Amino acid sequence: MGKMDTRTPAGLNVAPLTTRGIGVRFFGVRGSIPVPGAGTLIYGGNTACVEIRVDGRLFIVDAGSGLASLGNTLVDGPEGSFDILLSHLHQDHIVGLPFFAPLYDPSRRIRIYAGNLGGQTPETALRTMFSPPLFPIELDHKAKHLDFIGFQAGETLRFDGGISVRTTPLRHPGGATGYRFDAHGHAVAYVCDFEHAGPAPESAMIDFVRNCDLVIYDTTFTVEDYVACMGWGHSTIEAGLALCAAAGAKRLAAFHHNPDYDDAKLAEIEALLERVSPGSFCAREGQALDFNEIALSRARRGP
Ligand SMILES: [Zn+2]
Ligand SMILES: [Zn+2]
């Protein structure tokens, strides 16, 4: 992935990963399949994986191929106990797990959540992935440092330190779960993978992302490309912008980029985002943002 790019969307101060407020860092921004190569050097080719810090506490949202790099940043870090929140178990959202170094360190306590399996835990599916002939290393059944947790999308998850994370069911083949993190009046939502219902945003989704500082949203398709792919379970840039506008959400992070969209195409989309909704952007691998009191008071004063 290279050096961290702390490029700042307009009006936003960045002091990465605050210990008070919400920090976001993108390790994988692509959908469907990793697409390394000359055409994806700017926005990145790894699939979905986002580090989200709430008052410094680590959450990992989705375990796509970007998870391997995230894991490397944790190897010498102090995080003894943390949570991986999966949107669902499609391969582009779990393919990084076998190469996530902390998984093999029994001194870590790792919990892996899924909310789209009717309350079942993701353990059986993930153990299948970690078994020959799919992968040579099995997850040790006696490993005490791994917990698999199933819940129903829509429940609120509660964590130590008084942190609670709202969840919502998402329209996607096999279902998926959206997550919303709140701290000190700031909020970041993760809505991926998701297909919108129609031209008007749905009230349940408006409510879910209401007044968010940032909505990380499945923008797999432009509105033109969507026509041929309706029912695939993915959304559009335009539907994401409409949702944010209806909900009073401040910024859209276009995410789960189409593997066929190269850097030039994403730069075009980003220019459109910036015109329609200043501060919105196409998420880039390595990009970090911080939502805390200082960042927001500066944003209010303008650049
Ligand atoms: Zn996906
Ligand atoms: Zn999916």
Distance 122 CA to ligand 1 centre (A): 16
Are 122 and 130 contacting, i.e. CB atoms less than 8 angstroms apart? no
Q: In what order do the strands lie in the sheet containing 163-170?
A: 156-159, 163-170, 176-183, 186-191, 214-218, 252-255, 281-282
CA of 175, nearest ligand number: 2
Distance 250 CA to ligand 2 centre (A): 26
Q: Is the pLDDT of residue 299 over 50?
A: no
Place 78 in a pLDDT band, splitting at 50, 70 and 90. Answer: confident
CA of 173, nearest ligand number: 2
Distance 59 CA to ligand 2 centre (A): 20
User: Helices (DSSP H) in 164-302: which residue ranges?
Assistant: 203-209, 223-226, 237-247, 263-276, 293-301
Place 19 in a pLDDT band, splitting at 50, 70 and 90. Answer: confident
Average pLDDT over residues 205-223: 98
CATH code of the region 22-298: 3.60.15.10
CA of 28, nearest ligand number: 1
Distance 194 CA to ligand 2 centre (A): 8
Q: How many CB atoms lie within 10 A of CB 263?
A: 18
CA of 90, nearest ligand number: 2
Of 182 and 19, the structure prediction assigns the larger pLDDT to 182
Which stretch of DSSP H or E encloses residue 86? strand 81-86
Are 121 and 139 contacting, i.e. CB atoms less than 8 angstroms apart? no
Q: Is the pLDDT of residue 259 over 70?
A: yes
Task: Give the pLDDT score at 294.
Answer: 58
Distance 171 CA to ligand 2 centre (A): 10
Distance 166 CA to ligand 2 centre (A): 20
pTM value is 0.92
Q: What Cα–Cα distance (Å) separates residue 49 from each residue in 54, 62, 69, 95, 262?
A: 16, 5, 10, 10, 19
Distance 197 CA to ligand 2 centre (A): 16
Residue 78's contacts (CB-CB under 8 Å, 6 or more residues apart) are none
Sequence ranges of the domains in the chain: 22-298
Distance 155 CA to ligand 2 centre (A): 20
CA of 30, nearest ligand number: 1
CA of 171, nearest ligand number: 2
Q: Is the pLDDT of residue 245 over 80?
A: yes
Place 132 in a pLDDT band, splitting at 50, 70 and 90. Answer: very high
Distance 87 CA to ligand 1 centre (A): 9
Average pLDDT over residues 12-16: 45
